[in-house]
Structures are given as C-alpha cells and as structure tokens.
C-alpha cells in the first residue's frame, strides 16, 4: 500500500515545488491546489487571509463518524519556503529532480515533503469511517516569524473546535521532538547627525550609540547565563543572545548618521525573552535616547521586531507526544534549537508534537533534498494514524 501512496506523494511533491511560495510572496495558487485535492477526498475547508489577501492559511477537515464531535487530530505544515538563488543550484530549485532515491528542490524537506504526504493519504482517511475528525492545516509565512498561524488559531477559537493533538511535520528525521527554544529576532536602528570628523562635537555618531547598545546587550547576555545556572533539556542549556550584523557609516572622516544592529535571542522560557526586551528598551529609553536627542531632535533609536517565535515547552504528559511515539514505535524524545509554530499551537491549548520527514541539515540549503526513505517513513506513520483512527 505504501508504494502506491508513495508514487502519488512524489507526484504531489513535484507539483508543490513548482509554486514559488517564498515567504512574503503569494501562496494562493498552492492553497487552491491543496484545497481542491482535499475537497476531492471529501474534506470541507475554510481559509484565513493576510491583510492584503495575497496569502492564505488553509484549514480542512475530514469528518468523523456521524459527524462526531470527538476531538480531532491536526496535521500541520507551513507552505512558505526560504529564497533560492538559482545560479547556485545544480538544477532549477523550483523543478523537482529525482536522483539516487532523493528528490531535490526548494522546500522538499522544509516542508512541502510533509504536506505532500498528508495530501497523498487524505483519500485513505476519507475512505473509512473515522472515530474523530482529521484536520489539515497549511499556513503562510512561518519562516519570517510565524505570521500565518496566529490567524488560523484565532479562527479555530471562534469556531470552538477542540483537538486532541497536533502533529507539526517539520524535518526531524521522523524523530519525536517535545520542546524547542523560542526565537526572537530584532533590528535596532540608530539615527545620529553627520558632520566633519575633525569636529566630533558637530555631529552625533550613530555608530558610537550602537556600540554602547551592543555592550549593554552583552552585559545582559551574561545575566542570561546566571539566570539559568541549572541544567536544562536544551543545548546550550541556557538562553542565548547573539549580535549577527552591524552596518553603518561612510568612512573614517565622516561622522556616521546611521547605524543598524541585527541581533537575536533564543530564550529557553518566555521570561528570559521579556527580560532582554524590557532591559534593553529601558536602557535605550532612559539612558541613550535622551543623549542622542540632545542638540539633535532628529536623533533616535528604534527597535524593530523581525519576529518573536514562542518556545515549545516540554509537558510532563503530552497526548500528542504519546501518540507519535506510539505510531512510530520510537519512544526516544528530543529537543531542538530552531523555532517552529509548535509553541503557538501549544499556547492555544492544543497538545502538540513535532515529527516530520527529512533532516534539518537540508533545510534552507542549496540543493535541498528529501530522501525516498524519509517520505516512506512519514507515510507509514500517517497510515498507522489512519488505522488507529478507524479501529
Ligand atoms: Zn520549516
């Protein structure tokens, strides 16, 4: 049976790769494709959109026995992919290429491979009376700060639907992931006043303010370590902070009027994320901004939030984690250091687990691929789920 569904999965995956759904771009064509497939299998759907209507989340349901209100299971994936520079790839990133039992293409492992598996098994779920509904959730713009998922979750709350578990099929090599750190990304913009370097008093160096701000961040980073002196399930064991990019200035003899700082925090709990934000904001507001504005009303410091992805916390007893362990027969549980939508689902009261085909090492890379073996393992899990839901 897996072989038959597998060839269908490959066909669907090739179709999905063709939609160039880079984060920020429209995903409507892909959503239309998925909606059609699921409707053909007997699912009913609803969509939620971004403000301009150019992007959509799809939520589709194959009902249970007698339209039972039993709590259903969500299979969840994001439809956006990170950009690909075609010239760096061996072949067109948006045309699936099969070689050595792998499929190459942007999004194969992160995470159109999983979406293809779920679409391929949908008719199987629809062919039998289910004890509870099975739901398919496909979101937009996960890669740029999980922008789509909150809209679906708010809509589900309004519709008052209850769930027993959500499986997020991010690439984990089909291992069970029960926790990950949060991921907060920021750009801080500094505006000074340019002037001739021979008279530093005549201007305000944005770079010098960025340095003071950086020093404060590094101080706070040391605090993060102290706050978490006990061993946690993560590696590293504490919340981290990293300044990844600094840009600004023209040359040595010009006072820089602009500078920006790109930095990130990976908090092991919400409080650590808030600790950094609150402290750096207070430092900017109380110490730096009054100084940068002195003699220069246009001077300013603004922190832009690129994305704040909430962490996914380990639960003592999790229905979703138990379900996946049961389906895969693998009781090992792991943590990881990249962000997903799992924390958002968890925070809206849905028991959540991450388990999907492909390796995170392949995600976001040139010549991204997924192996046939991983797709088959995922299909095996989904077929077991279908059996569990009918027996
Ligand atoms: Zn992903």
Please identify which of the residues 110, 141, 142, 143 carries the catalytic annotation: 142
List, for residues 275-311, the tens digit of each pLDDT value: 999 999 999 999 999 999 997 899 999 999 988 889 9
**How many angstroms does the Cα of residue 190 sit away from the middle of ligand 1?**
32
Three-state secondary structure call for residue 260:
strand
**How many angstroms does the Cα of residue 300 sit away from the middle of ligand 1?**
35
User: What confidence category does residue 68 fall into, taking pLDDT thresholds of 50, 70 and 90?
Assistant: low
Please identify which of the residues 80, 141, 170, 319 carries the catalytic annotation: 80
Alpha carbons 387 and 167: distance in angstroms, whole number: 16
Strands 333-336 and 134-139: unpaired
Q: Which CATH class is domain 183-309?
A: alpha beta
Note the residue count of the chain. Answer: 391
List, for residues 350-385, the tens digit of each pLDDT value: 999 999 999 999 999 999 999 999 999 999 999 999
Alpha carbons 332 and 325: distance in angstroms, whole number: 8
List, for residues 220-261, the tens digit of each pLDDT value: 999 999 988 788 888 889 999 999 999 999 999 999 999 999
142 is catalytic: yes
Structure tokens at 200: 């530093």
**Which residues of the chain form CATH 3.30.70.360?**
183-309
**Contact (Cβ atoms closer than 8 angstroms) between residue 116 and residue 9:** yes
**How many angstroms does the Cα of residue 340 sit away from the middle of ligand 1?**
7
Report the helix count and the strand count for the chain, using DSSP H and E.
10, 15
What DSSP designation does 311 have? P
Fold of 2-180+311-390: Aminopeptidase (3.40.630)
80 is catalytic: yes
Taking the CA atoms of 4, 6, 11 and 16 in sequence, report the sign of the dihedral they define: positive
List, for residues 345-359, the tens digit of each pLDDT value: 999 999 999 999 999
**Which residues of the chain form CATH 3.40.630.10?**
2-180+311-390
The whole-model pTM stands at: 0.87
> Alpha helices of 228-371 — where are they, by DSSP H?
270-283, 289-293, 319-328, 342-347
Alpha carbons 389 and 51: distance in angstroms, whole number: 37
**How many angstroms does the Cα of residue 364 sit away from the middle of ligand 1?**
9
Alpha carbons 56 and 77: distance in angstroms, whole number: 13
């Amino acid at each position: 049976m897996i072989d038959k569904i597998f060839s269908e999965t490959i066909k669907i995956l090739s179709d999905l790769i063709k939609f160039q759904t880079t984060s920020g771009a429209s995903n409507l064509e892909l959503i239309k494709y998925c909606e059609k497939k699921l409707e053909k299998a007997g699912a009913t759907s609803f969509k939620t959109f971004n403000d301009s209507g150019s992007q959509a989340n799809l939520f589709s349901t194959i009902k249970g026995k007698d339209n039972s209100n039993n709590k259903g299971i969500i299979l969840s994936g994001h439809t956006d992919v990170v950009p690909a520079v075609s010239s760096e790839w061996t072949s067109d990133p948006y045309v699936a290429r099969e070689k050595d039992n792998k499929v190459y293409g942007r999004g194969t492992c992160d995470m159109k491979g999983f979406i293809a598996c779920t679409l391929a098994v949908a008719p199987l779920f629809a062919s039998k009376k289910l004890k509870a509904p099975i739901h398919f959730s496909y979101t937009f713009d996960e890669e740029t700060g999980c922008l789509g998922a909150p809209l679906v979750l708010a809509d589900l709350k309004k519709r008052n639907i209850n769930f027993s578990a959500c499986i997020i099929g991010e690439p984990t090599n089909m291992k069970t992931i029960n926790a990950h750190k949060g991921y907060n990304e920021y750009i801080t913009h500094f505006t000074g006043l340019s002037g001739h370097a021979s008279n530093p008093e005549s201007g305000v160096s944005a770079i010098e303010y960025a340095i003071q701000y950086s020093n404060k961040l590094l101080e706070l980073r040391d605090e993060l370590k102290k706050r978490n002196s006990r061993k946690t399930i993560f590696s590293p064991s504490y919340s981290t902070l990293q300044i990844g990019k600094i840009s600004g200035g023209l040359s040595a003899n010009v006072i820089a009027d602009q500078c920006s700082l790109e930095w990130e925090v990976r908090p092991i709990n919400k409080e650590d994320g808030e600790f950094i934000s609150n402290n750096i904001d207070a430092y900017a507001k109380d110490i730096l901004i009054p100084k940068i504005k002195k003699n220069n009303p246009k001077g300013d410091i603004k922190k832009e939030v690129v994305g704040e992805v909430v962490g996914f916390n380990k639960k003592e007893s999790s229905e979703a984690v138990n379900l996946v362990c049961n389906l895969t027969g693998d009781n090992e549980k792991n943590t990881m250091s990249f962000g997903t939508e799992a924390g958002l689902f968890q925070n809206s009261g849905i028991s959540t687990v991450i388990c999907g085909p492909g390796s995170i090492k392949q995600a976001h890379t040139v010549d991204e691929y997924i192996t046939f073996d991983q797709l088959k393992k995922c299909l095996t899990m989904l077929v077991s789920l279908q059996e569990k839901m009918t027996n």
